[in-house]
Amino acid sequence: MVHAVEKAVADTPDGQVTAVGLRVGVMSGAIPEALEGAWPIAIAGTRLAGATLSVEVIAAQIWCSSCEATQEVDEFYALTCPACGVGCGNLIHGREFEVAYAEVSTPDDP
Ligand SMILES: [Zn+2]
C-alpha cells in the first residue's frame, strides 16, 4: 500500500506527502478500518510519515447481460444480479485497490 503511494509520488521526490486517498473495492479483500488502523505504522519512517489517509469504498457492480444494465451487488450475493437473479461473472467494480490521490507539499510551496 505504502509502496504504491510512493510510486504515485515518485515524480516529486522532494515533497512531503501530506494526504493520501485510496479507492478500495468491497471485494478487494482489503478492510478500510484495518487499513486506517495500520496506516500510522505502515508510514512511519517513510516519505508518507504524517500523511492523512482517506479511504473511499467502492461498491461492487456487475454488468448484467440479462437486464442490459449495471447493477450494484451486495457483496454477500456477489455476482448474482439483484434485479433478475441471473448469475453473472462480469464484475466491473469492487476489486479496486488503487491510489486515488496523493497530496505532496514541496519545500518551495508558499
Ligand atoms: Zn439482471
Residue whose C-alpha cell is 510512493: 6
The model's pTM is 0.81
- Measuring CA to CA, which residue among 62, 8, 11, 53 is closest to residue 33? 53
Full set of structural domains in the chain with CATH: 2-105 (3.30.2320.80)
CA 28–ligand 1 middle distance (angstroms): 23
Average pLDDT over residues 19-45: 95
pLDDT tens per residue, range 63-102: 999 999 999 988 666 688 989 998 877 899 999 999 999 9
Ligand 1 (ion): which residues have CB within 5 A?
Answer: 64, 66-67, 81, 83-84
Sequence-distant (≥ 6) Cβ neighbours of residue 33 within 8 angstroms: none
74: Cα separation from own chain's centroid: 18
